[in-house]
Amino acid sequence: AQTVTQSQPEMSVQEAETVTLSCTYDTSENNYYLFWYKQPPSRQMILVIRQEAYKQQNATENRFSVNFQKAAKSFSLKISDSQLGDTAMYFCAFMKEGYSTLTFGKGTMLLVSP
Amino acid sequence: SAVISQKPSRDICQRGTSLTIQCQVDSQVTMMFWYRQQPGQSLTLIATANQGSEATYESGFVIDKFPISRPNLTFSTLTVSNMSPEDSSIYLCSAGTEYYGYTFGSGTRLTVV
């Protein structure tokens, strides 16, 4: 079974600064997908970024980028130029190719302050 | 990516009663998923809803407690039956594809009193 570990229960950052959220996972699969989801207080789960394991290039979406280290089974999320609206719970998730079900980490609560 | 409408957004229910949650997707999808998120916790998969067949339940979840319907490729319901206070959670549905990622409904906050 796959496991996803987020070792930082809470993180704080000031507006305009950069923050990195950590995620590690354990799997014996070679082909899989990784995701970061954001859940603000409204509780809507929002897909932030996704990464295919077979792609060496790290995914980027505007201010969000990942550092995907397949050998180390690490998938960290970097948020640049943090904004107050980035305050949310962030979940890292794993999906085995062809299975469609997501395994989530416990989440990291990110607080962006002025 | 799919847009999902979920309702109700919240409800307060008496113990022993049942609540049915609905999810409507704006496009046809093969599979839909139902998750539970207990207060301050991560998401746990309840079941996968397949059109035309019975839902596939994860360990710890049973059909009698969480019956699921999937009458077509854009709609699914989850019923929480014979509720107790321990069922108080946020329930979310999800759909999508590996390539585009999975989107979620806005969630149903259930409180059982």
Could you tell me the CATH number of the domain that includes residue A42? 2.60.40.10
**pLDDT at residue number A34:** 95
Interface contact flag, A105 B42, Cβ < 8 Å: yes
Cis peptide before B67 (omega within 30 of 0): no
Tell me the pLDDT tens digit for each residue of B69-93.
999 999 999 999 999 999 999 999 9
Percent of the residues in chain B that have a pLDDT greater than 70, as a whole number: 100
Query: What is the rounded distance in angstroms from the CA atom of residue B55 to the CA atom of residue B65?
Result: 13
Q: Is the pLDDT of residue B100 over 80?
A: no
CATH number of B4-104: 2.60.40.10
**Which residue of chain A is at minimal alpha-carbon distance from B43?**
A104
**pLDDT at residue number B98:** 72
Domain boundaries along the sequence of chain B: 4-104
Residues of B with CB under 8 A from a CB of A: 1, 31, 33, 37, 41-43, 45, 48, 90, 92, 94, 98, 101-104, 106-107, 109
Band of residue B2 on the pLDDT scale cut at 50, 70, 90: confident
Q: What is the largest CA-CA distance in chain A?
A: 43
Interface contact flag, A102 B45, Cβ < 8 Å: yes
What's the structural domain count of chain A? 1
CB A97 within 8 A of CB A29: yes
- Give the mean pLDDT of B31-37: 94
Tokens 């916790």: give the residue.
B41
Find the domain containing A32 and state its range: 3-113
In the predicted model, residues of chain A with pLDDT beneath 70 are none
- Give the mean pLDDT of B37-65: 92
CA angle A6-A94-B59, nearest 5°? Answer: 95
